[in-house]
Amino acid sequence: MFEPVLLRNMEVPDGHLLATYEAGGGYQALAKALREHTPDEIIDLVKQSNLRGRGGAGFPTGMKWSFVPKRAGKPKYLCCNADEGEPGTFKDRLIMERDPHQLIEGMAISAYAIGAETAYVYIRGEYVLAIRRLEQAIAEAHAKGYLGTRILGSDFSFVVHIHCGAGAYICGEETAMLDSLEGKRAQPRLKPPFPAVEGLYASPTVINNVETLACVPHIVARGPGWFRGIGPEGSPGPKLYCLSGQVLKPGLYELPMGIPLRELVEDHAGGPPPGRKIKAVIPGGVSAPLIPERGLDVRMDFDSLAAAGSMLGSAGVIVIDDSTCMVKVATRIIEFFHHESCGKCTPCREGLNWVVKVLRRVEAGQGTPGDLEQLEALCKGIFGNTFCALGDGAAMGLRAALAHFEHEFVAHIKERRCPFH
């Protein structure tokens, strides 16, 4: 029987307070890490667990940590990516609002492992309650000696600062986040050098998502074998799934990695409203190509979804029923990417502007017979040719909508109207 760990305090009254967290065994993993393990041993534990980053890319966390040079001659930094701008995704907000100490403990252990004494939590500015709760939790942790100098009598010192974003999706891209933290417009950097070698203030920097860091105390407390025993071998562990859209029970669910998408949507989230059928599901936030209903038996893990032509991404699962126009969905997705393009590279900046104009025309019933070829050509010009993954996400999303629902685009053009209005 699967036992939720990441969400265990979600419904507990005052779950955001230190006393509640400690009562459930909180900060004992930090004490164990400092008492029983060297930093290298912690990195090894995380490697053995095969924890893959929960922000979207799924890169192995222990491996990322091991890229940090041992002797850099510069301070090392830990950055927590709490920007969470991917439409359909709200998991990190709830961790920070309801169980912020879980994140702080994870950050302290991670910082110990990589040798960082300073961390910044880059959190989107809209998340006012999460910011307030995290500030309170940091103050509590300081007062109790879980943060600060010589933590729990060890030689390890560590402070956490909050840095509020101000409304830019691109800040979730790790190098754009670093530029934003340095007080610049958030635009992605050329890699290499990778942040682990040259990141914030040109110092070695590890950037991890909130959910990734929240997994770390559990790996230390329960051991890597426990973590690896949940879900598939290639991408194990407990996973947070964000369910939204046209389902009866939208919400945040913690289940094993690798659960079938159909079970997630139909059993856990209650399926579509009465009388409606599922038409398609976006499995990992709007960057992830949608999956038509017939593909819902895919398993929700990095490798299975990649093999199915989509991706786990942020596990922001958006359910679309048969009352919805897919041209409208595609248009709204591309409008989002167009609005959020940072403007650094031409294919993304100009290409998405063009795509939006064509899609709006088609949706309004003013499309022309050549528009679908035009959209394909634009996707080809954008995909693989942009500075970061924002343009790729947009092109992949549109390609999937065109591939699976071409008939709806064609109907709009032929009938010169939206058949769903």
Partner 1 sequence: MREKIEAAAARYPDQRSAIMPALLIAQKEYGYLPGPVLEEVADILGVERIWVYELATFYTLFHTAPVGRFHLQLCDNVSCMLRRSEDLLGHLEAVLGIERGGTTPDGLFTLSTVECLGACEMAPVMQVGDDYLGNLDIARIDALLDRLRAAAEQATDADLAAAGSAGK
Is residue 80 at the binding interface for partner 1, with CB under 8 A as the rule? no
Cis peptide before 204 (omega within 30 of 0): no
Nearest-5° Cα angle at 186, 123 to 72: 80
Place of tokens 């409208």: 328
Is residue 346 at the binding interface for partner 1, with CB under 8 A as the rule? no
- Judged by CB under 8 A, the residue of 129, 143, 248, 403 near partner 1 is 129
Angle at which helix 406-415 crosses helix 371-382, to 10 degrees, equals 140
- The residue among 138 and 196 lying less far from partner 1, judged by its C-beta, is 138
Is residue 286 at the binding interface for partner 1, with CB under 8 A as the rule? yes
- Judged by CB under 8 A, the residue of 128, 139, 143, 307 near partner 1 is 128
Nearest-5° Cα angle at 208, 179 to 159: 80
Is residue 255 at the binding interface for partner 1, with CB under 8 A as the rule? no
What's the token pair of residue 247? 């389902």
Is residue 248 at the binding interface for partner 1, with CB under 8 A as the rule? no
Is residue 360 at the binding interface for partner 1, with CB under 8 A as the rule? no
- DSSP for 162-217, written as a single string: EEE--S-GGGGSHHHHHHHHTTS---PPPSSSPTTTS-GGGS-EEEEEHHHHHHHH
Is residue 287 at the binding interface for partner 1, with CB under 8 A as the rule? no
Is residue 227 at the binding interface for partner 1, with CB under 8 A as the rule? no
Q: Cβ of residue 385: shortest distance to partner 1, in angstroms?
A: 23
* Sign for the pseudo-dihedral over CA of 337, 339, 340, 344: positive
Is residue 292 at the binding interface for partner 1, with CB under 8 A as the rule? no
Q: Cβ of residue 400: shortest distance to partner 1, in angstroms?
A: 14
Question: Candidates 147-155, 246-254, 256-264, 347-355 — which segment interacts with partner 1 by CB under 8 A?
Answer: 246-254
Question: Candidates 37-45, 81-89, 293-301, 403-411 — which segment interacts with partner 1 by CB under 8 A?
Answer: 81-89
Question: Candidates 25-33, 108-116, 177-185, 229-237 — which segment interacts with partner 1 by CB under 8 A?
Answer: 177-185
What's the token pair of residue 250? 């939208």
Centre a 10 Å sphere on the Cβ of residue 314 and count the other Cβ atoms it contains: 30
Centre a 10 Å sphere on the Cβ of residue 227 and count the other Cβ atoms it contains: 23
Instruction: Pick the closest to residue 232 from 300, 141, 175, 140 (CA basis).
Output: 300
- Judged by CB under 8 A, the residue of 55, 88, 224, 238 near partner 1 is 88
# residues contacting partner 1 (CB under 8 A): 53
Residue 255 sits at φ, ψ, to 5 deg, of: -145, 170
- The residue among 27 and 120 lying less far from partner 1, judged by its C-beta, is 120
How far is 35 from 305, CA to CA, in rounded Å?
Answer: 40
Contact code string over 191-220 relative to partner 1, x by CB under 8 A: ----------x-------------------
Q: Cβ of residue 170: shortest distance to partner 1, in angstroms?
A: 10
- Judged by CB under 8 A, the residue of 53, 56, 86, 390 near partner 1 is 86
Q: Cβ of residue 132: shortest distance to partner 1, in angstroms?
A: 9
Q: Cβ of residue 187: shortest distance to partner 1, in angstroms?
A: 9
How far is 375 from 64, CA to CA, in rounded Å?
Answer: 37
Q: Cβ of residue 329: shortest distance to partner 1, in angstroms?
A: 6
Instruction: Pick the closest to residue 381 from 341, 345, 329 (CA basis).
Output: 345
The answer for residues whose C-beta is within 8 angstroms of residue 268's C-beta and 6 or more apart is 243, 249, 253, 255
How far is 358 from 335, CA to CA, in rounded Å?
Answer: 11
Is residue 167 at the binding interface for partner 1, with CB under 8 A as the rule? yes
Is residue 56 at the binding interface for partner 1, with CB under 8 A as the rule? no
Place of tokens 């030689």: 155
- The residue among 125 and 225 lying less far from partner 1, judged by its C-beta, is 125
Is residue 142 at the binding interface for partner 1, with CB under 8 A as the rule? no
Provide the binding-site residues for partner 1, judged by CB under 8 A.
84-90, 92-93, 124-129, 161, 163-169, 180-186, 201, 242-246, 250-252, 282, 286, 316, 318-320, 324, 328-329, 332-333, 336, 339-340
